[in-house]
Structure 1
Amino acid sequence: MSEELLEIADELYALTPGEFTAARDARAKELKGTDLAAPVKALKKPGLAAWVVNLLVRREAGQVDQLLNVGAALREAQAAMSAGELRTLTKQRRQVTAAVTQQARSLAAEAGHKVTQAVADQVEATLTAAMVDAECGRAVRSGLLIAPLSTTGVDPVDEAELAAALAVPEALGFTATAREAPEPGPPDLRVVPDPDAAAKARSAARERRDQAATAYDEAAAAHEEAAADVDRLSARSLQLQAELDELRRRVADAESELDEVDDELGDAEDVRDEAAAALRTATAERDAAQAAYEKLEK
C-alpha cells in the first residue's frame, strides 16, 4: 500500500495549493472502500514554503540534485578544513542556496504565487538544511514536504521533526517525479472591448509600484545591515592590528633585553670563575699556614 500511497501523493503534491484539497478529496472518494482511502484523505495541504520547494524539485530536478551533490561533497571536506576555509565554505553555501531560492521564487511566480521574503527565507533555510544534513536532503528530494526544514548543521536533525515535515513517513528515499511546466493554452484572439481597462491598468501600475517599494525597502535594509557589518569588522580589524603591533614591539623589546642579559650573564660567569680560582688558591694557602702553625706548636 505504501508504494501506491507514495505514487498518489507524488501526483497530489505536484498540484498548486489551490488545487490540492479538492483533488485530494476527490481521489479519496474514488478510493472509498479500499485501504488507501483514509491515508489519502489524511494527506495534509503543504505550507507555501514547502510547496515552493516541492515545485523546485519537480521542475528543476537536475538543479536540486546538483545542490545535494555539492552539499555531500562539502560535508566530506568539512572535517579537514581550517576555520578560515570553513568561513569561505559557509559563504559559498549561502551563495548557492540564495541563487537556487531565487530560482524557486521565479517558478512560483510563473505558477501564479507571489513569494514573500518571509517565505523565501523558509525556502532558503530548507535548502540549506538539505545541503548540511543528508536526511534533510532525502526529505527535500522526495518532493513530499508539507512544512519547511531547518537545522544548525551541528547536531543531526530530530527524527520527529523530520517526520512531521513529510506528507507520509515512507517519503524518505522516495524521489519526486520530474514535471514540466504546463503548456499555456491557446490565445484568445477575440477582441472584446474592456470598459474597465483604464481602472485595471491603474491597479496593475499601483501593484507594481507597491512591489517595487517593498523590494526597495528590503534592499535598503539589507544594504544598511551589510554596511554595519563592514564598519564593525573594520573597527575590529584596526583594533587587532594595533594589538598585534604592540605585541611585536614587546617581543622586540624582550629580545633586546634578552641579548643584554645574555651578555651580563657571560660576564658574571667569568667573574664567578675567577673568584672560584682565587678561593681555591686562598684555601690552599690557609691550609698550608695552618699546618705550619700546628707543626711549630708541637
Structure 2
Amino acid sequence: MRSVTDPLLEAADRLYGLTLPEFTPARDALVKEHKADKELAARLKVLKKPSLAAYVVNLLVRRDAAQVGQVLVVGEALRQAQENLDGAELRNLTRQRRQLTAAVTQQARSLAGEHGQRVTQAVADQVEATLTAAMLDPGAAAAVRTGLLVNAITSTGVGETDPAAYVAVPDAAGFTPTELAEPAPPPPPELHVVPDPDAEAKKVAAAQEKVEAAQAKVDEATEALAAADAEVAELEARSLQLQAEIDELRRRVEELASDQDEVDDELGDAREVASSARQDVASADAARQRAEAALAKLQS
C-alpha cells in the first residue's frame, strides 16, 4: 500500500472520489487554494474529469475493494493458466471471468445509482471491458487499483498496458485510494399541515420519472433480448447445418453398404465361375495327357 505523501496524489484522491458534477468545481477550488504553489496549481489544473465509465470503476474500487480484489485474483490465475497452457483450467477460468465481470459490472451500476448516476448499457459495456482488461493485463490491473482512472481501458492481449496512460497521476502505481462510505440516506421530508398546492403536479412528475425509469429498464431488457435472439438464431443455423451434414453422411453410408452387398453377391458368383473353370482346365489337361500316351504307344 502506498501512503498519500504527494500533495498532488492527496488532491487527486479527493477529487476522483467525488461525483462527476462535483469534480470540476472542486478541482477549480483546489487550484485557487494552492495558487501560492504555482507548480502544484498547474498540475492540479490539468487533472482531467473522468469519463463516466472510469468514474464507475473508480467508485467500485473505493466502495467495494474486496470485489475488485477477487476480479484481479481470478485474472492473475487466468494469466498463469495461459502461460502454462493448461487448457481445462483455462476454459474454466474464462467462464469464471465472464460470469464475474458481468456480475461485478452490475454491482458497479448499482453503486453508481446509489450516488445518483444512471449508467446506460453502452457505459456498462465499457466498465466490463475495463474489468476484463484488468484481468488479462497486469498493467491495466495496476491502473484500476489506483482508483484514479480518467478513461476506460481496453486490452488487445498483445503487450502490457502502461498504467500512466489511463490514470490521473502518472506515478500513482501502487497507490491505494481512500475508501468511500455508503452515501447517507436523504433526510426525511418536513411535514406541513398546509396542503401543497403543487401536490398533483409533483405526483405527475414522480409518475413520469417512474415511467422513464421503467422505459430505461425496458430498453436495456430489449437490448439483452435482441442479443440473446441473435445468438439463438446463429446456433439454430449451425445446428441445421450440422444435421444436414449428418443426414448426408448417413445417406452415403447406406449407399456404400448397398454397394458392398452387390459386390459381395458378384464376388460369390465370380468365385463359382472360377471354380468351374478350374475343374474344366483339370479335365481338359487329363484328356490331353491320355491322348499323348495313346499317340506314344502307336508310334513305338
Using structure 2 for the length normalisation, give the TM-score.
Answer: 0.75
Which AA in structure 2 matches 1:67?
V
SS at match of 2:152: coil
| Aligned-pair Cα RMSD in Å | 3.4
Q: Is the 2:56–2:112 contact (alpha carbons within 8 Å) kept by the matching residues of 1? A: yes
* Counterpart position of 2:139: 135
Partner SS for 2:87: coil
1:32 Cα offset (Å): 2.1
- 1:200 corresponds, among 199, 202, 205, to 202
Letter in 1 for 2:81: A
Residue aligning to 1:95 = 99
Query: How many angstroms does 1:136 deviate by?
Result: 0.8
- Are 2:76 and 2:135, in contact at CA under 8 Å, matched by a contact in 1? yes
Residue aligned with 2:55, SS: helix
Deviations 1:128-156 (Å, cap 9, x if unpaired)? Answer: 2111211111111110011111123x313
Letter in 2 for 1:81: G
Paired position in structure 1 for 2:42: 38
Aligned residues: 263
Partner of 2:127: 123
Q: TM-score, normalised by structure 1?
A: 0.75
Distance across 1 between alignment mates of 2:64 and 2:41: 31
Question: CA contact under 8 A between 1:163 and 1:169: conserved in structure 2?
Answer: yes
**2:86 maps to what in 1?**
80
**1:95: how far off?**
2.2
Post-superposition offset of 1:53: 0.9
Q: Give the fraction of aligned pairs with identical amino acids, expressed as a percent.
A: 56
Give the counterpart letter for 1:114 in structure 2.
R
User: Aligned-pair distance for 1:29?
Assistant: 2.0
Residue 294 of structure 1 aligns with which residue?
none
179-188 or 41-50, larger mean C-alpha shift = 179-188
Provide closer, same or farther for how the CA distance between residues 20 and 220 of structure 1 changes in structure 2, counting only shifts above 3 A. Answer: closer
Q: How big is each residue's C-alpha offset from its partner over 1:22-72, in whole Å with a ceiling of 9 and x where there is no partner?
A: 221222222223242221222111111111111111011111111111111
Corresponding position: 1:210 with 2:212: yes
Compared CA separation, residues 182 and 213, structure 1 to 2 (3 A): closer
User: In 2, distance between residues paired with 1:173 and 1:164?
Assistant: 15
- Of 5, 10, 14, 1:11 maps to 14
Match of 1:177 in 2: 178
Q: CA deviation at 1:208?
A: 1.3
| Contact preservation (8 Å) 1:45, 1:146 | yes
In the superposition, relative to structure 1, how do residues 62 and 158 fare at CA in structure 2: closer, same or farther (>3 Å)? closer
User: 1:187 matched to which residue of 2?
Assistant: 188
Distance 1:158 1:215 in 2: 35
Alignment of 1:19-58 (within 5 A): 19-34=22-37, 35-58=39-62
**SS of residue in 1 equivalent to 2:171:** helix
1:249 positional shift = 7.0
Q: Which runs of 5+ in 1 are unaligned?
A: 265-270, 272-298
Matched residues in 1 for 2:58 and 2:40: separation? 23
Q: Secondary structure at the match of 1:169?
A: coil
Amino acid of the residue matched to residue 7 of structure 2?
E
Within 2, Cα distance between the matches of 1:28 and 1:220? 45
Give the conservation status (yes or no) of the 8 Å contact 1:2–1:170.
Answer: no
Inter-partner Cα distance in structure 2 for 1:207 and 1:12: 30
Could you tell me how far apart the structure 2 residues matched to 1:166 and 1:102 are? 23
8 Å contact from structure 2 (residues 57, 127) kept in 1: yes
CA drift at 1:213: 2.1
SS at match of 1:171: coil
Deviations 1:153-196 (A, max 9, x none): x313553xx53321111123222221212334653544364321
The answer on whether the counterparts of 2:130 and 2:153 sit within 8 Å (CA) in structure 1 is: yes
Residues in 2 aligned to 1:256 and 1:76: alpha-carbon distance in whole angstroms:
54
| Range with bigger deviation, 193-202 or 249-258 | 249-258
Encode CA deviations 1:101-154: one digit per residue, 9 max, x unaligned: 1111111111111112222221111112111211111111110011111123x3
1-structure distance, mates of 2:245, 2:30:
70
| Displacement of 1:243 | 2.5
Mapped contact 2:114–2:183 kept (Cα < 8 A): no
Shift of residue 85, structure 1, vs aligned partner: 6.0
1:189-234 per-position Cα deviation (integer Å, ceiling 9, x unaligned): 4436432121111112112112212322331232233123213212
Aligned to 2:270: none
